[in-house]
Structure 1
């Protein structure tokens, strides 16, 4: 495990860059994480997915898969890939400060 600094706060991340403790995440960190991943702006639709991912993690202990995101987040699969081009579930989870969802490579 290593540490990264987002919004002036040092957080613990795994080798893959995902937060190991989602409680360390703050909303102001999301834009910095997104920019690292090539997303320059977080729109309301991005936030809808980010909020959904955090809620899923809190309820189920893992983030949603792309299939679940597309069916239950209110954002369709095609739009998910437009919002999070490098893999919606994985990238949204990283920006949301939760561990990598089960099933993501």
Structure 2
């Protein structure tokens, strides 16, 4: 386990950089996590992050990439609910990388 600091707050992260306690998440921490992933956050990124956090609050699970793609398509439209769009935002894997930035656990099935 390690730690990271953002906005004057120090939080615990696991060996892969995921937050240990999802309640430690803030937008400042998300920005730092994004920097560590070489992602520059835009409104499009925040839209996916906010969606993921809402999804997790409702279902208590981080969605795998297929479920994420389908659910985003339903809520945000087909132009955003496709792998190409999501991989442009999160090149190291929309589910895995976006969940990390969103402060959520690594999705089941991600290696």
| TM-score, normalised via structure 1 length | 0.90
Matched, 1:28 2:28: yes
Q: What is the distance in 1 between the residues matched to 2:55 and 2:71?
A: 10
Give the number of the structure whose alpha-carbon radius of gyration is greater.
2
Moved more, 17-26 or 54-63: 54-63
Q: CA deviation at 1:94?
A: 0.6
User: For 1:91, which of 89, 97, 110 is the aligned residue?
Assistant: 97
Q: CA deviation at 1:17?
A: 0.9
Moved more, 70-79 or 85-94: 70-79
User: 1:71 — aligned with what?
Assistant: 70
User: 2:5 — aligned with what?
Assistant: 5
Gaps spanning 5+ residues in structure 2: where? none
Look up the SS of the partner of 1:4 in the other structure.
strand
Q: CA deviation at 1:7?
A: 2.3
Q: CA deviation at 1:82?
A: 0.4
Q: What is the distance in 2 between the residues matched to 1:52 and 1:102?
A: 18
Q: CA deviation at 1:103?
A: 1.2
Q: What is the distance in 2 between the residues matched to 1:85 and 1:8?
A: 29
Once the two structures are superposed, residues 12-66 of structure 1 have per-residue CA deviations (whole angstroms, 9 ceiling, x without a partner) of: 1111110111110101222221111111x21121111101111122122221111
Gaps spanning 5+ residues in structure 1: where? none
Q: CA RMSD in A?
A: 1.2
| TM-score, normalised via structure 2 length | 0.86
User: 1:103 — aligned with what?
Assistant: 109
Tell me which stretches of 4 or more aligned residues in structure 1 moved more than 2 Å. Answer: none
